[in-house]
Chains A and B, each alone.
Chain A
Amino acid sequence: MAARRLLSWYLTVFTLLCLFCYRITVATDEIEVCTSRFWFNYRHVANTLSVYRSVKRLGIPDSHIVLMLADDMACNHRNPKPATVFSHKNMELNVYGDDVEVDYRGYEVTVENFLRVLTGRLPPSTPRSKRLLSDDRSNILIYMTAWWNFYNVILRLLFGQRKLKQLIGENLSSKPIASWNITISVEKRYNELLFIIDTCQGASMYERFYSPNVMALASSQIGEDSLSHQPDLAIGVHLMDRYTFYLLEFLEDIHPASQANMNDLFKVCPKSLCVSTPGHRIDLFQRNPRSVLITDFFGSVRKVEITTETVKLIPNITEKNEKLTEEVMLTEPQKYVQQMPVAEIIHQSIQMCWTQHSNANGHYQKWSQPFKIKYD
């Protein structure tokens, strides 16, 4: 009986420590952007949704993903399979699924909105699902696909090009100070940034970056076109672009505990398969790409730091607890047990009456009442 009490108390403390003391060293946020409209740009939406799906599979929740799709392919009148978006011909994989959550849709996908999401300068009424809730410890993955005219402007604005071109209907000011300020503010909002772009002449997008801790991948060099992969004859359009297709194949092999690193990602889609030459840029990145795990950006794996510091519990705990505390301190020093599977930890948390609430603006966890310790 005493042993059991000891064990459950130990587990309580351990969980407490985990929950109070862990520092988020990796929390990944995602922005996925597709800016193409119209039925014949089906493949750009399929690209974006495929990456969205892989990323969700690897553990990033919807609250940390900002998905921007400029047109609705699934419900387009021309879609012979309504409510689906396929990424493989022969309809193998429906990337639209049941639980896709598009944050910016249709005409909301604009240069301005993209910049506002990145810099966080959104009106106060913007719901949480439309915000990028990152801080200076988060890694951000930005995936963009579509036609390169759109990106030409925003990236030059964001990452340092002084002279800006006019986008159709959008006229952005070209004050150097503005771009600098934006850069600084972005810096405070991320720890590391991985930028993937699948368009023609993609390398021109990352040429001008000068912010620190940015790694960039593009599907083609300057002067090259990024090509589409396979048409589906029943639907009548191309389903995917080559680079994203092979990227997806690569990501399907990654699971949350995978140790694959960035060097493997750079090898995705060689010229023989992709026809264009994918490129990457690592000089701004502080760590060695070999030591950067894929799951650092694509998955949400929480590393936990366990500390030996003790925590003084609050006074209105019963005397029994105090006695128990003293007893535990007299035992031999602790040693780490084997890492417990996440599911068991969660199971025990539930036993301790954690309550989850979700309010109308999004999904987040909130502890509504202090924990209670149950004794059998």
Chain B
Amino acid sequence: MGLLSDPNRRRALTSLVTRLNTPLCVLCYLVGVSWFMGLAFEPFMLRTYMSENAMGSTMVEEKFVFGERAISYTREFAGQKKKTGGMPVDWLVKTMKSRGLEVYTQSFSQTLPFPDEVKERYMVRGTNVYGILRAPRGPRTESIVLSAPCSEGNNNNQAVGLLLALASYFRSQIYWAKDIIFLVNEHDLIGMEAWLEAYHDVNMTGLTSSPIQGRAGAIQAALSLELSSDVITSMDVALEGLNGQLPNLDLVNLFYAFCQKTGVLCTIQGKLQRTDWDTLPGYTHSLSTMLLMVLKQGSGHPQGDHGLFLRYHIEAVTMRGINSFRQYKFDMTTVGKLIEGMFRKLNNLLERFHQSYFFYLMPSLTRFVSIGYYMPAFGFLALILVLRALDLWVQLSDPARALEDGVSEGEQDSSPSLLSLATPVIICHLTGLALYFLPVLSQEMAIQHFPVSETEAVVLTAIAIYVAGLALPHNTHRVLSGAGTERGWRSLKLFSLLYLAVLLGCTTLINFSLGFILAVTMIPVAAFIQPHRSSKVLHGVALILVSPATTLLLSIYLYHELIEYPVSLLECWQHFLTAVSQGILDHHLYGSLLYPLIALFIYPCWLQFWNIVFWK
């Protein structure tokens, strides 16, 4: 007979599962965490390589020599920006037209759900200007985008200047097979979102914008440039996009290859590569680079203007010029050559990027960890939930085993009524819905009653609802009929464990970092909590420590430690409040899914576990 259908064997198997459950869970957790840590160890990683045959090697000769022209455009742009107090639309249109591009503008406006205190904006109105360089002999079916944001103050002037110099240089070449779009967007991410939505003729975020008049076909790749100084010491590449989506690894490889060729220092997460991988400092360096990427990807916030392109299956990266205290500086001509080389290679593309990886982690620019290597780390953690669930299932199906606490429930039904199981679940999810909808909707009311600004009102309402959810178990118990039963909490825990497993599994597939962070914190505690009277406080504290909010707080703290800018507790709290407001804003402005996921799914699941702790 089969393994599971033979009662003797099944009994042996189930007794194995129940007897060895705790040691197995602990072992799985340790293996999962050490697997993840081991990913940063260099012998376990693969070197990056160019998968796209069409792009080949870097054998083009870059002839861009107009660094001075870029600087002069920069000065003009800065002056015009100061004069108009915002984006100098007319000057940009005139300059681009004189360089021979087809110029179009797009105006947009967006009202934020509540004022953004970080960027100090509430009702945003702006204009994007873009010029299209038509390929001299090609059909107008494909294009590449070079974009530079128009920012406040003196930021990113050089990016726009270099963009204009490159536009005039590219115009005189005849080897372009794709159109090139030079885009200057206002209000960075909001402007970019407006442009992309209008270009692809969708409306996802409730922006109002004028329709796009000139198009250049399907966009194959995009490069966003951020330069704020005339000379740079290194180029940093930002990968993480909205909801943790990453560009194709080939684009990163292309960037690195050309950095090598032009001799520019390139960094990722602001860190340079080290060659001493077999020493402890070398290992911690790549581990910290990888952790930074995990944290940034987990936040779901686009790390540059490129992040919004990824949703439309357009591979994009942001290149940032950094001017630090190093001695050796690179001028605009070198940066221009770098971009020219990348564009010539992108020109050779025949299809969209599809050969290389879309899911990866990068401990350094030359090493990567693909999805096949990092998924087992999460797999082991999910195994804990499955083992625990099996254990509970065995206990539930065999009532004789469940009598441990001396509370005999033999007269109970073989299965608790669905109502008693559904009630806590529904109540938790209703709390989640409240957490999702109420903060933004009730900010008016909150301002009237409390002396706080709108942003603070929203954030504090969210926190208040979050904390209020903690008080729920004490009230719902009076409603439930099956309250206090052994079978009750076991079945609720079984359901919650499986629910958590499915949630985290689905999240990890899309955004590994977010899923892994939540798994590492929540799973061990979720697996071990029990409603013992004696250890209620301990379990309660443990559960609070792994709640989504605390995880966020600890992540912020870890992030600041990793970028070597440690923060005190108070500052950490300030960052926490900002993060909550930014999360809600991201969701409303760009469609980020972090806040809905936490509010509607993770938080209710966590509340269910909280219910279990206070079951008796």
Contact between chains at B137 and A237 (CB < 8 Å): no
The CA of A234 and the CA of B60, in the complex, are separated in Å by 6
A64-103 residues with Cβ-Cβ distance < 8 A to B are: 76-80, 82
Q: A38-B54, A39-B348, A236-B348 are in contact. Are A80 and B59 (CB under 8 A)?
A: no
The CA of A30 and the CA of B59, in the complex, are separated in Å by 34
B51-107 residues with Cβ-Cβ distance < 8 A to A are: 53-54, 56-57, 59-61
Q: Using CB atoms, name the residue of chain B closest to A80.
A: B175
How far apart are B64's CB and chain A's nearest CB, in angstroms? Answer: 14
- Which residues of chain A are near B344, meaning CB under 8 Å? 236
Contact between chains at B60 and A78 (CB < 8 Å): no
The CA of A238 and the CA of B59, in the complex, are separated in Å by 9
Confirm or deny: A14 has a beta carbon within 8 angstroms of a beta carbon on chain B. Answer: no
Contact between chains at A82 and B174 (CB < 8 Å): yes
* Chain B: interface size category: 20 to 34
- Which residues of chain A are near B176, meaning CB under 8 Å? 77
Confirm or deny: A168 has a beta carbon within 8 angstroms of a beta carbon on chain B. Answer: no
- Which residues of chain A are near B502, meaning CB under 8 Å? none
- Which residues of chain B are near A39, meaning CB under 8 Å? 54, 177, 348, 350
Contact between chains at B54 and A40 (CB < 8 Å): yes
How far apart are B12's CB and chain A's nearest CB, in angstroms? Answer: 50
In-complex Cβ contact of A78 among B53, B57, B59, B175 (8 A): B175
How far apart are B463's CB and chain A's nearest CB, in angstroms? Answer: 57
Main secondary structure of the interface of A (DSSP, over half): loop
- Which residues of chain A are near B57, meaning CB under 8 Å? 231
How far apart are B157's CB and chain A's nearest CB, in angstroms? Answer: 32
The CA of A78 and the CA of B348, in the complex, are separated in Å by 7
Confirm or deny: A233 has a beta carbon within 8 angstroms of a beta carbon on chain B. Answer: yes
How far apart are A131's CB and chain B's nearest CB, in angstroms? Answer: 33
Chain A: interface residue total (CB-CB under 8 A): 15
The CA of A342 and the CA of B197, in the complex, are separated in Å by 73
Contact between chains at B60 and A236 (CB < 8 Å): yes
- Which residues of chain B are near A82, meaning CB under 8 Å? 137, 174
The CA of A234 and the CA of B59, in the complex, are separated in Å by 9
Confirm or deny: B153 has a beta carbon within 8 angstroms of a beta carbon on chain A. Answer: no
- Which residues of chain A are near B574, meaning CB under 8 Å? none
The CA of A308 and the CA of B177, in the complex, are separated in Å by 66
Digitize B337-380: 1 where CB-to-A-CB distance is under 8 Å, 0 elsewhere: 00000001001101000000000000000000000000000000
Contact between chains at A237 and B177 (CB < 8 Å): no
Contact between chains at A40 and B137 (CB < 8 Å): no
Confirm or deny: B135 has a beta carbon within 8 angstroms of a beta carbon on chain A. Answer: yes
How far apart are B585's CB and chain A's nearest CB, in angstroms? Answer: 43
How far apart are A341's CB and chain B's nearest CB, in angstroms? Answer: 47
A221-246 residues with Cβ-Cβ distance < 8 A to B are: 231, 233-234, 236-238
How far apart are B493's CB and chain A's nearest CB, in angstroms? Answer: 54
Confirm or deny: B173 has a beta carbon within 8 angstroms of a beta carbon on chain A. Answer: yes
- Which residues of chain A are near B348, meaning CB under 8 Å? 39-40, 78, 236
The CA of A80 and the CA of B344, in the complex, are separated in Å by 11
Confirm or deny: B138 has a beta carbon within 8 angstroms of a beta carbon on chain A. Answer: yes
How far apart are B172's CB and chain A's nearest CB, in angstroms? Answer: 12
How far apart are A323's CB and chain B's nearest CB, in angstroms? Answer: 71
**Most central of B53, B56, B57, B175 by chain A CB within 10 Å:** B175
The CA of A82 and the CA of B53, in the complex, are separated in Å by 23
13 A-B residue pairings within 8 Å (CB atoms): A39-B177, A40-B53, A40-B54, A77-B135, A77-B137, A78-B175, A78-B177, A79-B175, A82-B137, A233-B59, A236-B60, A236-B344, A238-B59
Q: Which residues of B contact A (CB under 8 A)?
A: 53-54, 56-57, 59-61, 135-138, 173-177, 344, 347-348, 350
Q: Which residues of A contact B (CB under 8 A)?
A: 38-40, 76-80, 82, 231, 233-234, 236-238
Given A78-B348, A233-B60, 11 other A-B residues pairs in contact with their CB atoms under 8 A: A38-B54, A39-B54, A78-B177, A79-B175, A80-B173, A80-B175, A82-B174, A234-B61, A236-B60, A236-B344, A237-B59
Query: 8 smallest A-B Cβ distances: which pairs?
Result: A233-B61, A77-B177, A77-B138, A236-B60, A80-B175, A231-B59, A77-B137, A78-B177
